[in-house]
Structure 1
């Protein structure tokens, strides 16, 4: 049977924030449009060897092989176990003469740390794409120092429901003036690819002015047909709108910058409410990553009745290590955040990790980390104590009295003099 443009090209399953798998139905017309948009924006015929790092269940995998198949480039498969083994990853890139690759920030950060420690470079790369998660200005600046002046550095943004990629930003456009405009320190996601429409709307579905936060909606030729056998969910997320035949509701918060590019401000579901205060967890993460002893960091709201923000930190290779008994590091992090954040946003616990676990897609596995912490608390004799192993007992009569009062009030067996009750 002949295949037409409105036939399905593939169905890809994504769980998103709900945890329930959704089969996204992508048609041939959308996939073909994606390739030609990449071809024009990235000048694909100029590249010969592309590194494949994404899991086959992730839509970036489809983007990688489609770009190579249709432009005649070589696709270099990277074993999953090499993603966080930077030495092996770098050796593979050199051996196979890789000149283009799309990295998740978690994998790229690890590679950058290795290159800085060993004083090696990425001059052989002609194009390096960062996607799938947030990438920060200071990280771009460090990456720029590792590449040649001719290397194209691109930040991309997309969702499975709009056929992989929807926008891209040439990071070489960042200068001192534009950097000062970026309030959250994130690299912008730029402008839409060909035949993609972007709308930033308020809760009344009206366009927001420049600089005002709204929710990001996508339209155009890349829009998927919907979710397989889930008509109600399809209707909720793929909405009808007067400005377009259909729009996809991403759940991402964004705003327009003065130059017309788009700045991504985080997920609407990464906003949490704690003791009546609305908190952006990504703001805490961004500040933690600015600390010189921090290599990677995430913040998660955890707990049932006694909710708290828990910060998970991977120390820098040249700084502290997670195996060291370093109460000084968590104390330093607390002091650092106190100068930047209000009290209600300060993490109640800091947990040091050797590495961040990754999903098969190369993203930080937040669910796995949260579950490990929950199990550790349940297994501990006193689950109200932090896992950072830096209990400081009272040393004066006044401290002892205060600790006993707090322990009685909070119904816990012990209180450290360094505990943060906010």
Structure 2
């Protein structure tokens, strides 16, 4: 942003700006002293605004918009060269005051002595800015031009400016005939006004954007006038006659508009459009001859007009309806300040009726009703706004009984406090059980305190984030609890992710310390400035004088990174109050108690892991660790030998379990989460686990602390293909809004917005993204836009339908294809890239397919390039080089115009006759797993090229063991799983199967059939 000194020098060098006073400006300037109308645009937001930087930005913007520095000299506006002042408004008391109640808004602005424009900065933790302009010098459209440039200056962007000297006289077509002087005919909408000059503003925020808004308002208000036909004045921005005009002059005219009572809004809207098409606003103008009337005489006339209106309670219309348009609040934000609302607070001219100003922004319609204050005025105004709100957003759509989820939670409870109490209550009970033995509650308590003490020695405390890089071991569980007991937040890192990604996450999170378990400390993942603490080297006891810091509900508990659409993962910050609320209801609903044995079946970096980490350990139960990588063998052993009672997993993993030849006894609860749960799979699961098992479908994005809706599957009731995701849980809410942010009726599709105590604090270091995804409903409720399209069924349950964007799920992991495309474009051979989920014809299973534009781009090299930077589940199954990326008329990738990456695989591979029995049997297992004909699978084809992912590979391996290798040789085959993962081809799998079987002479008949 240019300095103030530079701005002053530029002003001195520039010619003096001046423009003539237009007829309407002359009339407004001639109002009695202190009564000339003032236009005021308020911007509310969260964050901070530095007063000095704001003042500098206002000064810079005034150079680009000199209409903000004018005073009237005779019949001309002349530039004073003095930028508008920035006045700080202090507020005593908590929070931000209501802008519309500020006494400063009642103060006049003076056209002759100035200033004609000024800025109010309303201080506090979340400031507001009010741009004020005398209506004689500017209209609301001009104020928006000026305010936009002020925020551009704050962001350091080039200014657009408004240097034109255009007035209404320049824009309007020739006048036909003599304008009619408006008569004072219509009684005030709010009844008799008060005698005081104080203006009352009542603001109402309504959810959504609404087509034909002025027409809708008119049809709602018309019956309230008591007349068979209501008269409205509709200010029209004359810039529509010359859209390129950049002038802050007062360029709006009020169009008279009659609306019969009972006429629907569509008819009203059509009538208004017709009047505008006929340019009636151009003819409804003030007589240019008004410029010949001396100001003193005109001031007397205006005073008489106002006095007559007051005494007779008659005005030129029932109400003035002004629509300032739809505004993007991002244009009124800075790096440290995110605008959340923009609205207009105007004062009426002489003889002016009740004014209703509307602005559409941030998914809301901001409505401000202004009128002269007096006895009963506020109450009558509130009734009018009630009618408007009900018409635009009916209460029956805004309220849903399922959102009555209030449930008491101890005010100061945290998982740390609850665990400490549990360790005292059951010190000798088994807390963690795994292949390496058991850990009691007393041992876990002692070891985790030792970790906390070690972190304290590294300066870690409340507010810090500590990385945890470890396998699914007791040491990792101890590390997580140690971080929490140090008052810090843990950052779980997946050991299978590439080193570069782990280093980027640690850097982005600003972690001062990373707890690392061997052998992962040998990996170069810890960036400069982040200390490495090796878990294996920590003492098992804390120092005798160690005292734990207090942990409060508002402290961060953990930060989990998810895929980002900007090519960069984003960290979701979860506070203790959110985690504690989840633990409380999930413990109750899933029946977790001292007898619970719950396995950890997901990566620590997947938030579903929190269910296993916290629920059993806060209820006196046991956390089961499977040990090593998950596969059919470890799952079988866990289900048959470890006697789990509660299982929580993705539907993909549940499907793999259903394929195992086991009948586990004692499982009381299965909770599926992270993906769509199909009814067919739910039925198989109930058959597998028996009638005593309850099957829950849980739903929740990472941004809402694990899960926020729940549904108990009922085969008799739930007959649709997909199992509902249920209703909100304790202290959580769910709202379904359409693309225009309006509440939808039951049965209609819309985007799910989640609210309640479990919402994340936001994205770490990303206030812009936080503001975009965590928004507020009109009633102030903070909600997260999930991007999931759902509907509420007749039974009152939420049903998932699809996504509103390109985000996909792979094994429960959220993936933004744009992040993969950005990574591909980082390769020097790639000019542009796109990644889309595609499926093979005739099969539901989808995989990530990349398309790249670039000379010399090698698909295999690009896949390896991505694998070095992103998790395995984000590596595209196919990479296809194309000449260009076709796009639709909306600018999106035209998937239908892209080549089929599987076309080559649809031809017979030609290997069937030359295959031996084992190879034929392996190809048969692949065909069953992937849904591809065996004769179309080349022996050297990569498993992932045909749609295989990690879980499908485990399913394939289980099938090979079951049908080819046999139980006796299964372990030898599984010992080579790493070789299969590195080279997943039919010929490789067949070779390993032969080696595992030794000299077995033949494949079982079932395998070769």
Question: Corresponding residue for 1:100?
Answer: 646
**SS at 2:681 equivalent:** helix
1:127/1:315 CA distance change after superposition, 3 Å: farther
Match for residue 583 of structure 2? 35
Would you say how many aligned residue pairs link Structure 1 and Structure 2?
312
1:294-305 matches, within 5 Å, as 297-300=845-848, 302-304=850-852, 305=884
Q: Does 1:151 align with 2:759?
A: no
Which of 316, 326, 333 is the equivalent residue of 2:934? 326
Q: 1:135 aligns with which of 677, 682, 687?
A: 677
Seen in structure 2, the aligned counterparts of structure 1 residues 310 and 197 have a Cα distance that, compared at 3 Å, is farther
Query: Secondary structure at 2:671's aligned position in 1?
Result: strand
Report the Cα distance in structure 2 between the residues aligned to 1:323 and 1:240, rounded to whole angstroms.
Answer: 45
Q: Cα deviation per residue 1:145-195 (whole Å; 9 max; x = unaligned)?
A: 212101011111111111111111111x232x641xx3xx21111111111
Partner of 1:307: 898
CA shift in 2, pair 1:134/1:285, >3 Å: farther
Of 843, 852, 857, the residue aligned with 1:288 is: 843
User: In the alignment, what sits opposite 1:53?
Assistant: 601
Question: Is 1:206 aligned to 2:760, yes or no?
Answer: no
Q: Distance in 2 between matches of 1:316 and 1:202?
A: 47
What SS is found at the alignment partner of 1:234?
A: helix
Unaligned runs of 5+ in 2: 1-548, 809-835, 853-883, 885-896, 907-921, 938-943, 953-1009
| Structure 2 CA distance for aligned equivalents of residues 286 and 37 of structure 1 | 43
Q: In 2, Cα distance between the equivalents of 1:217 and 1:303?
A: 33
Contact kept? 1:161, 1:223, Cα under 8 Å: yes
C-alpha displacement at 1:62, in angstroms?
Answer: 1.9
1:65 and 2:613 aligned: yes
C-alpha distance 188-328 of structure 1, shift in aligned 2 (>3 A)? same
CA contact (8 A) 1:47 1:126 kept: no
How far 1:285 sits from its partner (Å)?
8.7
**What is the match of residue 633 of structure 2?**
87
Q: Once the two structures are superposed, what CA deviation does each residue of 1:20-46 show, in whole Å capped at 9, x if it has no partner?
A: 221211111111111111122222227
CA contact (8 A) 2:611 2:648 kept: no
Alignment CA distance shift 1:16-1:221 (3 Å): same
Instruction: Tell me how far apart the structure 1 counterparts of residues 663 and 951 of structure 2 sit (CA, whole Å).
Output: 25
Kept in 2, the 8 Å contact 1:299–1:310? The answer is no
Q: CA RMSD in A?
A: 3.4
Alignment partner of 1:261 out of 797, 802, 814: 797
Structure 2 counterparts to residues 230-379 of structure 1, below 5 A: 230-270=766-806, 288-289=843-844, 297-300=845-848, 302-304=850-852, 305=884, 307-308=898-899, 317=925, 320=928, 326-327=934-935, 352=946, 355-357=948-950
- 2:805 partner SS: helix
Task: Indicate if the aligned counterparts of 2:572 and 2:763 stay in contact, CA closer than 8 A.
Answer: yes
Q: Is the 8 A contact 2:927 2:933 kept in 1?
A: no
Tell me the CA shift for residue 256 of structure 1: 0.6
Distance, in Å, in 2 between the alignment partners of 1:69 and 1:42 is 14
CA distance in 1, matches of 2:588, 2:929: 45
**Is this contact kept in 1: 2:649–2:671, CA < 8 A?**
yes
Task: Summarize the Cα distance change of 1:19–1:267 in structure 2 as closer, same or farther, 3 Å threshold.
Answer: farther
CA shift for structure 1 position 270: 4.1
Q: Give the deviation of 1:316 after TM superposition.
A: 8.4
Give the corresponding residue for 1:277.
none
Specify every segment of 5 or more residues in structure 1 that has no aligned partner in the other structure, as ranges: 273-279, 290-296, 330-349, 360-422
Paired residues of 1:301 and 1:308 also in contact (CA < 8 A): no
- From 758, 766, 771, give the equivalent of 1:222: 758
Name the CA shift for 1:153/1:102 in 2 (closer, same or farther; >3 Å): same
- Alpha-carbon distance between aligned partners in 2 of 1:161 and 1:351, rounded to the nearest angstrom: 32
Q: Distance in 1 between matches of 2:628 and 2:841?
A: 27
SS at match of 1:44: coil
3-state SS in 2 of match to 1:264: strand
Change (3 A) 1:88 1:195: same
SS of 2:772's equivalent?
helix
CA contact (8 A) 2:639 2:664 kept: no
Is the Cα contact below 8 Å between 2:636 and 2:660 reproduced in 1?
A: no
Find the structure with the greater CA-based Rg: 2
TM-score under structure 2 normalisation? Answer: 0.29
SS in 2 for 1:154: strand
Tell me if structure 2 keeps the 8 A contact 1:238–1:248.
Answer: yes
Which of 723, 732, 751 is the aligned partner of 1:196?
732
Q: Does the CA-based 8 Å contact 1:299-1:309 persist in structure 2?
A: no
Deviation at 1:122, TM superposition (A): 3.0
Q: 1:301·1:309 contact (CA, 8 Å) conserved in 2?
A: no
2:880 counterpart residue number: none
Relative to structure 1, is the Cα distance of residues 256 and 98 closer, same or farther in structure 2, using a 3 angstrom cutoff?
Answer: same
Q: CA deviation at 1:196?
A: 0.6
Distance 1:78 1:271, change over 3 A: closer
Provide the rounded CA distance (Å) in 2 between the counterparts of 1:70 and 1:328. Answer: 52
Structure 1's 352 and 153: CA in aligned 2 closer, same or farther, altered over 3 A? same
Query: CA 1:70–1:226 in 2, change beyond 3 Å: closer, same or farther?
Result: same
2: CA distance, partners of 1:285 / 1:197 = 38
- Aligned to 2:593, what secondary structure does the other structure show? helix
Determine the C-alpha separation between the residues in 2 that align with 1:286 and 1:168: 34
Q: What's the counterpart of residue 559 of structure 2? A: 11
1:367 aligns with none
SS at match of 1:145: helix
* Partner secondary structure for residue 146 of structure 1: helix
Q: Distance in 1 between matches of 2:931 and 2:573?
A: 46
Cα deviation for residue 228 of structure 1 reads 1.1
Mapped pair 1:166 → 2:708 = yes
Specify whether residues 28 and 103 from structure 1 end up closer, same or farther in structure 2 by C-alpha distance, changes over 3 A only: same
Contact 2:927 2:934 in 1 (8 A): no
Match in the other structure for 1:339: none
Instruction: Provide the rounded CA distance (Å) in 2 between the counterparts of 1:319 and 1:285.
Output: 13
Q: How many Å separate the matches in 2 of 1:265 and 1:303?
A: 27
